[in-house]
Amino acid sequence: MFRFEFWDCGESALKKFDHMLPACKEKTDAFLFLFSFTDRASFEDLPGQLTRLAGEAPGVVRMVIGSKFDQYMHTDVPERDITAFRQAWELPLLRVKSVPGRRLADGRTLDGRAGLADVAHVLNSLAEQLWHQDQVAAGLLPNPPEDTPS
């Protein structure tokens, strides 16, 4: 069984609080890199983020998650760019849709919760990656080669 704890330390938080990145990397098992299919800049930031953490945290699971995948009429990240990214970085890339969610009492504000069915594939994939990492650490599986682009 896995127990997940997530720390959100996006670029703006890291710039504002310089102590955050070292704290987030301490005893970390995985990094999730997020971008939005409707925000090209967030996708273009991924290589820099991945490069910055690649050498500092060897052996840590890294996964990429693209949000708003269902907003295909507004996408700024075409499939050919996703394919090129996956070939270059050889990392799991998952897609999640926009989740309208439930509304708070005011009727306008979303409560911020997604249903389990909306995120189950992400959690399952993360658990699989962490399980594999544990098997490698225990010497039960061979150590994979580094997955940074050449």
User: Which carries the bigger pLDDT value, residue 24 or residue 82?
Assistant: 82
Pairwise CA distance, residues 92 & 118, whole Å: 18
CATH of 11-137, one of 3.50.50.60, 3.40.605.10, 3.40.462.40, 3.40.50.300: 3.40.50.300
The β-bridge relationship of strands 93-95 and 61-67 is parallel
Sign, Cα dihedral of 7, 121, 111, 38: positive
Residue 99: pLDDT band (50, 70, 90) is: low
* Mean pLDDT on 130-137: 92
| Structural contact between residues 51 and 81, judged by C-beta atoms closer than 8 angstroms | no
**Ranges assigned E (strand) in the chain:** 30-36, 61-67, 93-95
On the CB side of 138, CA atoms within 13 Å amount to 7
* Mean pLDDT on 102-106: 67
Q: What percent of the chain has pLDDT over 70?
A: 84
Query: Is the predicted pLDDT of residue 11 greater than 50, yes or no?
Result: yes
- pLDDT at site 82: 96
Query: Is the predicted pLDDT of residue 147 greater than 60, yes or no?
Result: no
Domain ranges of the chain: 11-137
The phi, psi pair for 125, rounded to 5°, reads -65, -40
Axis crossing angle, helix 79-89 with helix 46-54, rounded to the nearest 10: 10
Residue 148: pLDDT band (50, 70, 90) is: very low
Query: Is the predicted pLDDT of residue 127 greater than 90, yes or no?
Result: yes
* Mean pLDDT on 124-133: 93
Residue 40: pLDDT band (50, 70, 90) is: very high
- pLDDT at site 83: 96
User: Which carries the bigger pLDDT value, residue 100 or residue 17?
Assistant: 17
The phi, psi pair for 93, rounded to 5°, reads -130, 115
| Structural contact between residues 25 and 57, judged by C-beta atoms closer than 8 angstroms | yes
On the CB side of 61, CA atoms within 13 Å amount to 20
Give the pTM.
Answer: 0.79
